[in-house]
Amino acid sequence: MNLDPFIFRHEGVLIGMRARDDADPVVEEVNVFALRPLRREEFEVFTLDLCHNQMDRHFSRFPEEELEKINRMVPGRPLMERHDLRGSLPRGTFFRCQLHREGERVSARPDVYVLRTRENEDFILNIEGGVYRETSIGFSFQTPECSICSRDLRTCDHVPGRTYADATCHCIMRGVLEVIEGSVVPAGSQGTHFIAQERTLSLDRALVLARSEYHRPVEVWSKRWWAEE
């Protein structure tokens, strides 16, 4: 009698992975911005800090209420390189954002999807390898408020970076009007960066590991019945 090999095919593994892929909420959220339905293996997702409420290298900061506005404005905006809005096209699209709290630091932390195209291979590899690391936000706002006197910095005598009565003068950015883009940069003013996280395996890599596991030879042995106790 001819019998199928025992456990060596496990077609159920592949079916299960496809079912999870179709139900992946990330795919649904990304496809809100796509013109055709994308499959999970067609894009990579990265998380980054885009801006925060701490004083930055240029002596400016966002108050938390402005971060809440930015959080709502980010989805749908493009990920660029070096704030280059004239010489290049977007590399990715932000599809969701949340506020992240760590002690007194509050940041807008969006997720961006980047298509796995031939043109983006090196871009993705440089992000994953930590070469493209820092990020920056492009935006417009209404009022540069002085942290010392609460007036418009363009009309007062205080200078950002100088100390007045043990307080460092800085610009509080009020009235955010628009988030234009987020960018990958060599050194951003706020020191924001991509967030290292545990990444899910690609379909191809998961299949390789599954086949390796399920095709491993099974050793069957027992104690010889005539061996001494």
Query: Which residue is it, tokens 């493009």?
Result: 78
Nearest to 183 by CA among 123, 96, 118, 115: 123
Chain segment 96-118, per-residue pLDDT in tens: 999 999 999 999 999 999 999 99
Reply yes or no on whether the pLDDT at 192 is more than 70.
yes
Count CB neighbours of 65 within 10 A: 10
Position 85 confidence tier, pLDDT thresholds 50, 70, 90: confident
What lies within 8 Å, CB to CB, of 161 at 6+ separation is: 59, 168, 169, 170
Residue 6 pLDDT = 34
Any domain includes 183? yes
Domain range for 117: 11-209
Strands of 7-164, DSSP E? 43-47, 51-52, 60-61, 78-81, 92-102, 105-115, 134-146, 163-164
Q: Residue 220 falls within a domain, yes or no?
A: no
- The CATH number that applies at residue 189 is 3.20.16
190: buried, middle or exposed (CB in 10 Å: 19+, 13-18, 0-12)?
buried
Q: Is residue 1 part of a domain?
A: no
The reply to whether 131 falls in a domain is: yes
The rounded percent of the chain whose pLDDT value lies above 90 is 67
Q: What is the pTM assigned to this prediction?
A: 0.74
Contacting residues for 221 by C-beta, under 8 A, at least 6 apart: none
Residue 79 located in a structural domain: yes
Q: How many domains does the chain have?
A: 1
Looking at residue 183, what is its pLDDT? 93
Q: Has residue 198 got a pLDDT over 70? A: no
In a domain, 122, yes or no: yes
In a domain, 180, yes or no: yes
pLDDT reported for residue 155: 95
Residue at 2 is within a domain:
no
